[in-house]
Amino acid sequence: MGKLLLLFVVFGSLSLATADAEELTPTAFLKPVLHDIQAVLEDESLQGNAHLVERRNKIMSLIKRGFDFREMSKRVLGKTWRQINDQERDNFTVLMTKFLENVYLGKLEGYSGKDVEFVAETVKGDRAQVTTLIENDNVKIPLHYIMNKTASGWMVYDINIEGVSLIKNYQEQFKSILRKDDYQGLVKVLEEKNRSFVLEAQ
C-alpha cells in the first residue's frame, strides 16, 4: 500500500452534539472520524459499483466536515492564490476537492478494518498536530494531522506521512505546471484529470 493510500482514513464526521465545538481538543475532533468512515465502507447496502455514487457522496460529506479544502487549496497555490479573484478561488477549491475525491476514494474504498491509535497531540496557539499510528503489513505507520482552529473547531488542512506532506507534494506538482502554463493552464489540467476519472468510473 502506497504512502498516500491512507490520507483520508481519519477524516469524516465530527459529532458535536454533546459538547461545545470550541471546547473540544484536536484529538477529540478526530477520534469519531474513523468510526463514521468505516461505517460507510462496511455498510453492506452500499457495496459494489451499483452504489458507487451514493457511497462516495456519503464519504465525501463526512470528509468535508473535518477537512478544510479551501485552506488546503490556498496553501497549495501559495502566491498564486493571492493573484486570483474570489470567483477563481471558489472554482479552484471545487476543482481541488473533486480531484482529491477522484484520486483517493477509490483507494479508500478498498481500505477498512484497520485500527487507528492516537498517540500524541501538540497545540501551539491556533495550530495543532495530532499523531496517530496505523498498522499496515505488520508495520505501524505514523500519520501526523496538521490542523487549524476555526470558528467550527479544529480542521485538518495537511497530513504528513513518513515525512511526506500532502500540501508540499501538490505545491511542487502545481508549481511545475504554473511555470509552463500559468493559472489557467493548471485549471485545465485539473478539469481534464477530473473528466478522465469520471470516464474510468463508468
Q: Which one, of 17, 45, 47, lies nearest residue 32 by Cα?
A: 17
- Residue 202: the pLDDT is 63
Inter-axis angle of helices 86-108 and 69-77, nearest 10? 110
- State the Cα torsion 67-72-73-75 to the nearest 10°: 170
DSSP 38: H
Instruction: Output the DSSP codes for 127-166.
Output: EEEEEEEEEETTEEEEEEEEEEEETTEEEEEEEEETTEEH
Evaluate if residue 8 carries a pLDDT over 50: no
**What percent of the chain stands above pLDDT 70?**
81
Q: If you average pLDDT over every residue of the chain, what do you get?
A: 82
Architecture of the domain spanning 3-201: Roll (3.10)
**pLDDT band (50, 70, 90) for residue 15:** very low
Evaluate if residue 50 carries a pLDDT over 90: no
What residue segments make up the domains of the chain, in order of their start? 3-201
pLDDT in tens, 142-159: 889 899 999 889 999 998
Evaluate if residue 11 carries a pLDDT over 50: no
pLDDT in tens, 26-38: 999 888 876 787 7
